[in-house]
Amino acid sequence: MATPPPTHPIDRHVGAMIRAHRRAAGVSQEELGTALGLTFQQIQKYETGENRISASKLVEVARALSLPVGALFEGVDVVASGGESLIARFVSLREAGPFMEAAVALPEPVRNELFRLATVYVAEEQAAG
């Protein structure tokens, strides 16, 4: 039996963007699947890039998440030139969903301070090592 072709980086990126926006909206894979007439397993396959998503389904996803379709392609130029997008790396982290939810719920001054502290911490770690 032939092995399937590897997942294309742009398919993985678009899937990661769907996952990021879905999580940011507080929508489960099951809820998004129901809105699109799909199973949550199919949503999982789209989000990992295992299955490619058609243009018409991308429009439906964007509508279900109240997004412009272009939001699902942010950063795709980085991927197309051989890089990996920051958003795709971030949303692949297990803790990304709860972190995004917490960050959005924080008052703006607290959120800004959290982001500042994280940036300073990374800069100090890079300088030390």
Mean pLDDT of 107-114: 94
CATH class of the domain comprising 1-92: mainly alpha
Length of the chain equals 129
Over residues 21-69, the pLDDT tens digits come to 898 888 999 999 999 999 999 999 999 889 999 999 999 999 999 999 9
What is d(CA 26, CA 100) in angstroms, rounded to the nearest whole number? 10
What is d(CA 73, CA 3) in angstroms, rounded to the nearest whole number? 28
Q: What is the pLDDT of residue 97?
A: 80
Q: Which pair of structure tokens corresponds to residue 86?
A: 């920051």
Q: Which pair of structure tokens corresponds to residue 35?
A: 């809105």
Per domain, the residue ranges of the chain are 1-92, 96-129
Q: What is each CA distance from 60 to 13, 32, 57, 110, in whole angstroms? A: 18, 10, 5, 35
DSSP class per residue in 49-68: TSS---HHHHHHHHHHTT--
